[in-house]
Amino acid sequence: MAANPMKVTHVALWTADLETSAAFWSKYFDASIGERYESRRRPGFASRFVELNAGPSIELMTGPWVPDDVARAVAEVPGWAHIAVSVGSCEAVDTLARRFDEDGLLVSQPRMTGDGYYEAVTRTPDGSLVEITS
């Protein structure tokens, strides 16, 4: 039997402010940000892809129907809870966590979790959680 070729190609996050969200991923994760796409079929829908060094990309999506407090609205229904981004080492987690802390975005200081991850937690400008792991 052949190996299963399935893999996650991207995940999508709703955002109230597409450009601020794109700038966040570029500033803190050195991500490449794709061109803005505006849908002709769904007026008001726009998106940009965030490309990290490896793994699936992140599609940032917005529209006039997205509430300003999108993270709270999403937290009130079943669905994804967070995205985890591996930065390669405990030292890199510490460095990035300090930057988030200085900018008032750090939710949880670096720590070793019960399931064996060294991580810190931050929030995107919309409040979505991002785990930074080693």
Sign of CA dihedral 39, 71, 115, 120: positive
Residue with tokens 């080693």: 134
pLDDT, tens only, 71-110: 677 666 667 778 999 999 999 999 999 999 999 999 999 9
Q: Which residues of 9-30 are buried (b: 16+ CB within 10 A; e: fewer)?
A: eeeebbbbbbeebbebbeebbe
Domains (range + CATH), the chain: 10-133 (3.10.180.10)
What's the pTM value of the predicted model, to 2 decimals? 0.86
120 alpha-carbon distance from chain centroid? 14
